[in-house]
Structures are given as structure tokens and as C-alpha cells.
Amino acid sequence: MVVGYILRGAIAGPLAFVVGLLLGYSPWVALGLYTLIGSATLVLIPVTRKLIGNLADQDKALTATVRWNPRNYSALKRFALNLIHIRQL
């Protein structure tokens, strides 16, 4: 997931640079857009995802619908327990 955020920032930054140059801005302004948009994308996408996840309470909603989860484990803990179970086989 982190690699995806970095790739999005790496794509959005140069794209903002090219768009800035095509709109007639100076190369310095385009370079500023490159760094601003790339950094903002890298920071704001995970923050927004975290906020939406907390507001929606997706983890609790997910664990409430799963039948084989009698202890109401979180999704990450279930994943780890499944990995441990698979390695023991």
C-alpha cells in the first residue's frame, strides 16, 4: 500500500510540472508545483484514507458480518492468525 502512495506521488508531481509548463508558468513555478503536488499527494491520500476508515468504522462492520469470528478479532489480527495456521499445516 505504501508503494502505491509513493507511485501516485511520483506520477502526480511530474504531471503537475508538465501541466504548469503547458499553461505558461515559469519553470520555477512548475518546479514548485512538482514538489507541492507530489508531496501533498504522498501525505494526503493516506491521511484521507485513515479518516474515512475511522469515520466509517469499517473494521467493526467487517468483523460483525463474519461468522467464523466469535472473538470479534480485527481484520489484521485474523489475517495474522490465518498465516500462523497455514504455516503450522
Helix 58-65 and helix 27-56, axial crossing angle in degrees, nearest 10: 40
pLDDT tens per residue across span 28-55: 999 999 999 888 888 888 888 887 776 6
- Whether 10 and 38 have beta carbons less than 8 Å apart is answered as yes
Q: Using 50, 70 and 90 to split pLDDT, how confident is the model at 61?
A: low
| pLDDT, mean over the chain | 76
What is residue 73's DSSP assignment?
A: -
pTM above the 0.75 mark?
no
